[in-house]
């Protein structure tokens, strides 16, 4: 699934007339970048949810070949957790990938999604998140998102504690994570916290390049880095 229903408030004014995942980077929309990476990992079908400028999102995915896209319009918006929950009938019976519509990364020596699929253990995990080292991120990330134990098990930072890892917007989730969920809109963070409490949320550190795309200057920095060609030469 690709999450493309957000309002993109921090990316305004660029998102006043379009959805954030339809902004372009290196000549391709962020949404197509995400779908292309799913296709490269062997994904044949994906759900894309849409709310803000939903008609434009629908037009953007109408011509996709692989993966075949099922468009999920949301009014009102269901947030990340509610959106995935509604899409569950289309996501199969086993673990599935969920990618933020503004997640932009370059793979390292191996595909990030392939590494995650190989690392995901349904017996011990309800979720596996891709994370990047906070020190490698340009842009405002606050206190960071997560800390990891030696096995890759996730916990959140305590008060006044800095977290060395930031969520990269790519994850593999198990259907059982959605067993007891509220009706209507809710955040995936609610399910992360439940999985953390049960010791079943893990993370994998990305070994390639990841672009933090929250504000227009972030997008400009990413475009400049790609045009410079250095990250392509490395990854």
Cis peptide before 203 (omega within 30 of 0): no
Sequence-distant contacts of 215-219: CB under 8 A, at least 24 apart: 215/10, 215/11, 215/139, 215/140, 216/11, 216/13, 216/14, 217/139, 218/138, 218/139, 219/11, 219/14, 219/23, 219/25
H helix and E strand count, the chain: 7, 13
User: Helices 188-197 and 79-87 meet at what angle, rounded to 10?
Assistant: 90
Q: How many CA atoms lie within 13 A of 28 on its CB side?
A: 14
Token readout for 79 is: 């947030």
CA–CA gap between residue 110 and residue 139 (Å, rounded) = 26
Residues facing residue 96 across a β-bridge:
173
CA–CA gap between residue 110 and residue 207 (Å, rounded) = 8
pTM for this entry: 0.93
Token readout for 4 is: 């493309």
How close are the terminal C-alpha atoms of the chain, in Å? 25
pLDDT of residue 230: 58
Structural domain tally of the chain? 1
pLDDT in tens, 167-193: 999 999 999 999 999 999 999 999 999
SS3 string, 47-90, reads EEEECCCHHHHHHHHCCCCCCEEEEEECCCCCHHHHHHHHHHHH
Tens digit of pLDDT at every position of the chain (235 positions): 999 999 999 999 999 999 999 999 999 999 999 999 999 999 999 999 999 999 999 999 998 889 999 999 999 999 999 999 999 999 999 999 999 999 999 999 999 999 999 999 999 999 999 999 988 887 677 788 999 999 999 999 998 889 999 999 999 999 999 999 999 999 999 999 999 999 999 999 999 999 999 999 999 999 998 888 755 545 4
> What domain range includes position 112?
2-234
Reference 148, options 106, 206, 233, 187; nearest CA is: 206
Residues facing residue 4 across a β-bridge:
50
Q: How many CB atoms lie within 10 A of CB 133?
A: 13
Which CATH number belongs to the domain containing residue 175 in this structure?
3.90.550.10
CA–CA gap between residue 3 and residue 47 (Å, rounded) = 8
pLDDT of residue 135: 85
pLDDT in tens, 113-123: 999 999 999 99
pLDDT of residue 20: 97
Token pair 């990476």 in the structure block, residue: 37
């Amino acid at each position: 699934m690709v999450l493309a229903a957000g309002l993109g408030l921090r990316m305004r004014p660029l998102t006043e007339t379009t959805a954030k995942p339809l902004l372009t980077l290196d000549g391709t929309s962020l949404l197509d970048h995400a779908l292309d990476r799913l296709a490269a990992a062997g994904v044949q079908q994906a759900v894309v949810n849409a709310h803000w400028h939903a008609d434009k999102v629908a037009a953007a995915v109408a011509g996709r070949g692989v993966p075949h896209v099922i468009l999920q319009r949301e009014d009102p918006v269901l947030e990340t957790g509610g959106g995935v929950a509604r899409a569950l009938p289309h996501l199969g019976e086993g673990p599935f990938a969920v990618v933020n519509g503004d997640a932009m990364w370059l793979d390292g020596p191996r595909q990030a999604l392939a590494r995650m699929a190989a690392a995901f253990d349904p017996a011990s995990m309800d979720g596996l998140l891709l994370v990047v080292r906070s020190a490698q991120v340009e842009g405002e990330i606050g206190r960071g998102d997560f800390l990891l134990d030696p096995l890759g098990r996730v916990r959140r930072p305590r008060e006044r504690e800095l977290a060395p890892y930031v969520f990269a917007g790519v994850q593999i989730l198990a259907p059982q994570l959605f067993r007891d969920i509220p009706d209507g809109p809710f955040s995936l963070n609610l399910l992360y916290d439940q999985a953390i409490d049960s010791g079943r949320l893990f993370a994998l550190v990305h070994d390639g390049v990841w672009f933090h795309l929250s504000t227009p200057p972030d997008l400009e920095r990413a475009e400049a880095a790609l045009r410079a060609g250095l990250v392509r030469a490395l990854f």
